[in-house]
Amino acid sequence: MRIALLNDSFPPVLDGVSNVVINYAHVLTAHGYAVMVGVPDYPDVHDDYPFPVLRYRSLDTTKLVGYRAGYPFSASAIAQLRDFRPDIIHSHCPIASNLLARTLRESTGAPVVFTYHTKFDIDIRTAVRGELLQNELIKTLVRNIQASDEVWAVSRGAGENLRSIGYEGDCIVMENGVDMPQGRAEEALIRQVEEQCGLTPDETVFLFAGRLRWYKGIRLIVEGLARAMGDGANFRMIFVGDGSDRQVIEALCRETGLMPRCVFAGAVYDRELLRAYYSRADLFLFPSTFDTNGIVVREAAACGLGALLVRGSCAAEGVTDGRNALLMEENADALYEKALYACAHREEMRAIGRNAQQELYISWETAVLRGAARYQTVIDRCREHPTPRRRDLFPLVADWVGIVNRTREISRQVVDLLR
């Protein structure tokens, strides 16, 4: 089987979805599949992978969405991907990458599988001003997804979100895995984390890892822990990661008086060092209702660390309160109460972490090989029941061009008003 993996984010951008694509490519290659990864070009990037990476023409949209957007109608990219002769095309981004996937399908006949990773409607409403334009972009996104031969979601909640924005087709849950082995990090690295963060054995250590954005529930962490500190709780809070809201998050920590208890470690790219952070902590705080899967929760579980999650969130799917995680309502008072409980029951937190390690962990090899088996099902089905594609591709391109033009016109009007 020959597999083309397409996504808009890829190193040097490191995020959850780029991590998914890298692990799919590594595992599939290790198991004898032929893989080509197609991603937008970045300046001065050198790819050193055991699989080919096709970099194609891109636009700099990093200030808007955090990564570059590929030009999905690049003739050279389509030609090189066509020459690869994929049996299946797996897209992980619902806009540019899925347009490229559909364009490639026109010339190869290979079916398109699309994975819905994140709540893109929230990303659009955050990045784009104007409700009319937001709604148009979301409709275009949904039409693009709808045209795939099969749609996967990384969790049940992700699938529900996709349907809530207008998607009407079938959706299969295909969970992501974790690239960390089960077990604690090396003790020397754990000691290094303790020294860098100034930790003492009597302190309960809370940890957050991920992008520093408000929609991750970080305000609940700061406000809840500030109240717990006021009641005499003995803890340290470590934030691992970076993001556009970091400065205002730090400002809130100073405003609430929490900053002396906080460590902002920045982005940690060394996976073994990240394991050491997980291994040293007593409880992973992840009160996010934005995330659709929460790979970091499984990473924490791999290292024997339980998580505090919002009841009913996607990240909390499959967990049992008090056994392999703690669940809370989505408010700062609830986080305050759970933080006090964790500080007073550290041994119970360790037991929850051990259960999480045994019951929540899923390796990338397991996850990807499930996906590979499903690829074959999609290929067989599409060979038995081929359908014409060209009829739905070009109207979508026209829609997309129209939205781009409207966006430009709105921008010009704004500039004229400011003159």
What pLDDT score was predicted for residue 388? 59
Which letter, b or e, does each residue of 3-27 get, where b requires 16 or more Cβ atoms within 10 Å of its Cβ? bbbbbbbbbebebbbbbbbbbbbbb
What pLDDT score was predicted for residue 108? 93
C-alpha 360/C-alpha 211 separation (Å) is: 22
CATH topology of domain 2-177+366-418: Rossmann fold (3.40.50)
C-alpha 340/C-alpha 279 separation (Å) is: 21
What pLDDT score was predicted for residue 360? 92
Indicate if the alpha-carbon torsion angle 133, 134, 138, 144 is positive or negative: positive
Max CA distance (Å), the chain: 67
Residues whose CB falls within 8 Å of the CB of residue 307, separated by 6 or more in sequence, listed in order? 283, 284, 285, 286, 297, 300, 301, 315, 319, 325, 326, 356
Residues whose CB falls within 8 Å of the CB of residue 352, separated by 6 or more in sequence, listed in order? 306, 322, 323, 324, 325, 326
What pLDDT score was predicted for residue 417? 46
- CATH number for the segment(s) 187-356: 3.40.50.2000
Please name which of 92, 110, 100 lies closest in space to residue 75, comparing C-alpha atoms.
100
pLDDT tens by residue, the chain, 419 residues: 999 999 988 888 777 788 899 999 999 999 999 999 999 998 888 899 999 999 998 888 776 666 777 888 888 999 999 999 999 999 998 888 999 999 999 989 999 999 998 877 676 666 667 777 777 778 888 988 999 999 999 989 889 989 998 999 999 999 999 989 999 999 999 999 999 999 999 999 999 999 899 999 999 999 999 999 999 999 999 999 998 899 999 999 999 999 999 999 999 989 999 999 999 999 999 999 988 777 899 999 999 999 999 999 988 988 999 999 999 999 999 999 999 999 999 999 999 999 999 999 999 999 999 999 999 999 999 988 876 554 455 555 555 555 555 555 555 554 454 44
How many C-beta atoms surround the C-beta of residue 188 within 10 A? Answer: 8
Burial of 237 (0-12, 13-18, 19+ CB in 10 A): buried
Listed in order, the ranges of the chain carrying CATH 3.40.50.2000 are 2-177+366-418, 187-356
What pLDDT score was predicted for residue 18? 87
What pLDDT score was predicted for residue 71? 85
C-alpha 269/C-alpha 272 separation (Å) is: 9
Q: How is residue 325 annotated by DSSP?
A: B
What pLDDT score was predicted for residue 28? 98
Angle, helices 96-108/75-84, rounded to nearest 10 degrees: 60
What pLDDT score was predicted for residue 140? 83
Asked if 186 contacts 365 with a C-beta cutoff of 8 angstroms, the reply is no
C-alpha 327/C-alpha 315 separation (Å) is: 11
Residues whose CB falls within 8 Å of the CB of residue 183, separated by 6 or more in sequence, listed in order? 302, 303, 304
Q: Output the six-digit token pair for 188.
A: 């020397």
Q: How many CA atoms lie within 13 A of 155 on its CB side?
A: 22
